[in-house]
Each structure stands twice: as structure tokens, then as C-alpha cells.
Structure 1
Amino acid sequence: MDSTPLLVGSNELSAGRALLQDHPVFLRASHSPWCFIPQNVLVFFRGLILAYLIAASILVLNYETTDAAPGETNARLFFDFAIISGAMVLLYFIITFSWTFTHLYYPDPEEIDGGVESWVVNLMSLPRNLASLRQQFYFTLLYITTVVFSFMNTVIYWSITRPYDLENNDDGGTGDDDNGNGDGNGDNGDGNGFSLAAAPNTPFSDIFGEGWLKAFAIVNLFGITSIILVFEILFLNSIRRPSTISAYLFALMVFAGLYIGWAYIGHAATGIYPFFWLDPAEAGSQEAVTAYAIGFVLLAPIMFIFMQGFVGIRESLVRPHVIIQEGLGA
């Protein structure tokens, strides 16, 4: 069996008339819109990506905890934007893999007799009330926030953080660190880590010239996760653009603002700023910090629009009347 009916029965949607002409977002997250990606292939892709994310998370955490500068505490990771956005990506794929797997192989979890298997299958299965508008909003918000934060993380690192690190002869690490986070393999003898003067013709030596683990951590945190999410949007789910975006735009800006507050809590607890531009001494003035913070908050809706562009590309390539691949027979 490589597919399951998209809707078990119309009675599941009777509680939400607004959804009678559409499929709940939970099911859209569990079905690819492409005919060449049936359910069994989708389960394989989601399982493969989830396995990669778990392995990558272990390696990244190993790098972050073992390569910290003297005096740094691992508690700083709870406030690191890259780590937070990466954790959200991992959570999203755990949820969607569970739903896709059980929707294909255990479409009726109630038929399983009691025991550990029944408990696990019910835990991994789709929500019981597929028509719940509140639950659909919460999951959509999780999905959008995950993608937007990942895109923000990538844009901020490659356009702001890394150029700043290079200009200040930093080691191109994953956060603002006056002492450097490198392992010293690229040190030119002055104790400041990699120096551009040491290798003027190798523009990415700050990433690839100091060991494979650091290179993997940086590329994964600030590149691969966003690429995975673009692949997710284009091929692995059929979630539509929201009909009303004001609530999501407002929520994204609130979350971005809350992170700024969380970052300052992190500085109070660990003495480390997650971003250099949160430090008035590094940014130049308190006014500059305020400008950076405002830009951070405004970047969220910009990345939301960028995300919806990929959704629009997918919808323009898939036939308008095809919601889920034809093999589902929905």
C-alpha cells in the first residue's frame, strides 16, 4: 500500500464548515502535491531527513559544547538563535514524519489493541479533531515560524554576522564571541584565531580551514536547514498560503521581539550576547542596538513573504484543481 485516502470521512469535518471545501492543514502536511511522490516515498524522504537532522544535531551540539571559549558556559546554547531555530526544524520534522508514517501504515489507530504499540501509534497519529480551527492555526503558526526563523538565521549569519567576524579577524563562529570559538587550527600566532591575512585567496578558510566539525556545524546551522525547508515547501507538503496573513505577520513580529528579550535574559544569565549587535560596545551605540533590533523584528515578515513566494511557485507548477496527488483518489 503506497497511499491512503486523504479523508477518512466527511463527518470529520462537520464541525468546521469553513473546511468543507478544503483539507485540514494536518493532512496537507502529510501529503505531497506531486504525483511522483506517493505516500511511501514521502515517508522515506521524511524519515531520511529526520535521521539526518538528529545526527546533525548531535554533531553540532558536540561542536558547540567542546569548542567553546574559556569561561563560556553551555547554558548560552539555550539563548542561541541558531540553536533555537534548528531545534524548531527538528521538532517540525518529528511531528510531520510521525503523522505521515501513521497516516499511511496505521490509518485507524483505534483498531490497535492496548499496549505499548497502541500508545505509541496514538501518540504519533494525526489529531483526533481534524476540523479544529484552533489546532490548525497553532500548527500553521509553528510551521510558518519554523521556516521564517530558519530563513532569518541564514540571512543574518551570511549578511551580517560572518562579514563582521571576518572584518574583526574572528573565526567565523556561530555567535558573537570576543574570545573566538575556533579550535585554534587556523591561528596565525596572535591568539585571535584565523586571520584573513594568512590566506587572502581562500575566502572560506574561516569555515573550511579549521577542521571538518566546525565546517559541518556552520554549514548545517546556517545553510542546510534552510535548504531542507525549501525542499519541504516545494515537494513534501501541500500546505496552502493562508487566506488571512495579518495574524501570522503579527505573531511573527511578536515572536521576534520576544526573542530579543530572551537574548537579553541570556546575557544576564551567561554574560554572552547571542548577536554582536545586541552589545552597545560592539554595535557602536545604544541607538545602533535599537536599530538592529528593529531590523531583526521587521526581517520576520520579510522572510514570511519570501516563504510564501516558494509556496506560490509550487502552487503555480501543480495543477490548480489538484490538491493532493491523483493517486490518493480524493
Structure 2
Amino acid sequence: MSSEERAPLLSSRQGLPVAIGSSTVQDHPIFLRVCHSPWPCVSQSCLVYLRGLIFCYLTALAGMLFCYKFHHEYPQDEGKSNWCILFEFASLAYLLLWLYHLIASCWSFTHLFYPDVDEDDHRWESVVLKKMSPPLQTPHSRKRFYFSIFYTVAHVFCFMNTLIYWSVLVPQGYGHFPQGEGGESISVTSAKEFFGNGWFEPFCILNLYIGISLIALFEIFVLNSIKRQVPVPAHVFATVFFLSAYLGWAAFGKLFTGLYPFFWMDPETMEKTEYIASYVSGFVGLGPTVFAFLYGLIGMRENLTQKDGHDKKPSTQSDSLLEE
């Protein structure tokens, strides 16, 4: 693996590399930006430990969430198939975030402790380290763009999961809160009942629908120095595409399990096709809106971590992406 791909990010005072025969400043690959915090107070070793703790937490939490859903949310005595878990939007959002942190943890670890792996060494240790290392960026590779899409979709799905649950499902009575008086989904009584039956259920629900979004915010602001996504239209299109693909996956889930992941996909519940169409349009249209929110968060972090005037120059990442 090339040592250039493992080299620490150059600060604005040191200057970024300039292409031969051009005055255009080149940008660092997104793979390296995942491995570097934008805050000087977060050292490389600290970043590796933080990523390791978060990944271990998400992995342990995954086991608890599956246990909760198998034994509480989809009990066999009510005729609900446990396979429904595979088609839930929350499950998919959690899986994408877990996968992202697995990749980021591996890259950060090898970037710090094993920056140079011999390509000609075929021992199993070296093979594993090469698989765990950030990809080698070749001149015409599209890996940088594809990973940027993955990073965007994973975090957009995570924020959408939280937003949909608390703004649509819970108010409509399809959350995990007991029904209050007059059909209200959240009331003082229902909240006390929800939190009064032990810690396990509230812990799982709050982590699945709030905690992972807080982890995503921490990732964006503290753990990586990824710049705003470019080209923007391609990321918006990818977000809409994967949300539409999820709707197809959810429809297949209805054929496989007999249940819809969302109440607004069920014709018997919604009664009118127009209502279903409006919810579907809102679901897909929410993607670009959340992407704009994510884009703004990254821009806010970039502004907060600017070191000097050189950092205020327009990003040339779009050019490098398009050139690949």
C-alpha cells in the first residue's frame, strides 16, 4: 500500500499538494479524511479509541435490539414473523451506520498503526491488514465518489429514521408508546407506563430512534474531516434512488411476511390510494431535505474548524471527483 495514502493530512499552513503543470490545489481523498479529526485536540490515537468504543457499543447494542424485537416487538404468539425485522427502515438505517463505523474503525486503526503494508507480503496477517486499510486511490478510480455516496446515504437514513419516528409514527399512534386518553399516543400516563416497565425497552427504543442520530452528529462534528459532498446533484439523485429502492424492498417484505413496515403503505389502513401516494412522495422527498441538513452540518463544522484564510478557498473536491 502506498505510503502517500497513509500520510497525515497536511494543514493549511503546510499547504496541500499542487498538480504538476497546474496551480490547482488538490484535495485529500475522503478515505484519509475519515481517519482524521478536524479538531487539533483529538489526536490520532484518541480518534482510534473513540471509533473503537463507538463500534463496540453499536455491535453490543445490535444484539440487544434483535433480542428486543424477537421477544417483544414480534412475539410468535401474535403471529408476527420475525423476518419483519429485515424490512424495517430503522433496521436498515442501523445496519448502514454500523457498517460505516466498522469501515471507519478499520481504516483509522491501520492508518495509525500500520501505515505501510508490503504489497508483496502474502502472509495472512498482511492480507488482513491490507483489507482493513484505506483503499489505494488510482488516477481514474471512482472509489472516492462511491464512498462519499455511501457516507451520505448512511447518515441521511439515520436522520430520517429519527425524524419519521417522532414526527409521524408516534403522533399517529404507531410508535412504541401506549395510547393515552382520546387516542393520543403520548401523554403523561402513557409516558409513565412506557418508562415504568423496566429499563430494557426504553433503552432499546431510545437508542434506535435517538441514540444513533446523536452518534451520527458526533461523527460529523468530531470524528472526521470529510468536506461537503460534491457534486451535489449526484448525491441528491443517489439519495432518492436508494429511498425508492427501499420502498421496493418494503413491498417485497409485504409479500414475504404479510406486513408493511409503515402504516401508510397499507391500503387497508389508509383507505385511499391518494393518501398512500402522498406519504410515498413525502418519504422520497424527505431525502433531499435531510441531505441539505447534512450538507449544512458539514459546512458548519468546516467553518468552525478553519485555521486561516487558506481554508476559506472554495473546495476543489468536485473537480477531483469528476476527474476520476
TM range (shorter): 0.7 to 0.9
1:5: Cα distance to partner? 3.0
For these two proteins, the number of residue pairs brought into alignment is 292
**Counterpart residue number, 2:8:** 6
Are residues 1:137 and 2:149 paired?
A: no
**Structure 1 contact 24–131 (Cα < 8 Å) conserved:** no
CA-CA distance at 1:249 after TM superposition:
0.4
Distance 1:195 1:290, change over 3 A: closer
- Per the alignment, residue 69 of structure 2 pairs with 64
Q: Which residue of 2 aligns with 1:77?
A: 85
Greater Cα offset, 52-61 or 204-213: 204-213
Alignment of structure 1 residues 292-311 onto 2, 5 Å: 292-311=279-298
Listed as ranges, the matches of 1:118-137 within 5 Å are 118-129=126-137, 131-137=139-145
Structure 2 unpaired stretches of 5+: 1-5, 11-16, 313-324
Q: Which of 178, 194, 206 lines up with 1:194 in the alignment? A: 178
Residues 216-236 of structure 1 show CA distances to partners (whole Å, capped at 9, x for unaligned) of: 221111111011011100011
After superposition, give the CA deviation of every residue in 1:148-198 in whole Å (9 maximum; x if it has no partner).
001111000000001112xxxx6x33xxxxxxxxxxxxxxxxxxx934249
1:96 maps to 2:83: no
Structure 2: distance between partners of 1:230 and 1:237: 11
CA contact (8 A) 1:26 1:130 kept: no
Question: RMSD of the TM alignment (CA)?
Answer: 2.7
- Give the counterpart letter for 1:268 in structure 2: L
1:258–1:111 Cα change, 3 Å: closer
Larger deviation, residues 36-45 vs 194-203: 194-203
- 1:8-47 counterparts in 2 under 5 A? 21-47=26-52
Query: Residues 213 and 207 (structure 1 numbering): CA distance in 2 closer, same or farther, change over 3 Å?
Result: same
Distance in structure 1 (CA, Å) of the matches to 2:267 and 2:192: 29
Label 1:96 to 1:132 Cα distance change in 2 as closer, same or farther (>3 A).
Answer: farther
**CA shift in 2, pair 1:66/1:228, >3 Å:** same
Q: 1:223-274 CA distances to partner (integer Å, 9 max, x unpaired)?
A: 1101101110001111101232001101111111111111111011101110
Q: Which one of 240, 257, 269 corresponds to residue 282 of structure 1?
A: 269
1:113 CA displacement:
4.7
Distance 1:21 1:89, change over 3 A: same
Gaps of 5+ in 1: 174-192, 324-330
CA deviations 1:63-109 (Å, max 9, x no partner) are 11112142111211111100000000000000000000000000001
| From 205, 219, 235, the counterpart of 1:232 | 219
C-alpha displacement at 1:14, in angstroms? Answer: 7.7
Q: How does 1:93-242 map to 2 (within 5 A)?
A: 93-110=101-118, 113-129=121-137, 131-165=139-173, 172-173=175-176, 194-197=178-181, 200-202=187-189, 204-205=191-192, 207-242=194-229
Counterpart of 1:269, as a letter, is F
Listed one character per residue, the Cα deviations across residues 43-81 of structure 1 (whole Å, up to 9, x for unaligned) are: 011001001000110100111111214211121111110
- Cα drift, residue 309 of structure 1: 1.4
Contact 1:31/1:237 (CA < 8 Å) preserved in 2? yes
Cα offset for 1:133? 4.3
TM-score, scaled to structure 2: 0.83
Q: Is the 8 A contact 1:14 1:20 kept in 2?
A: yes
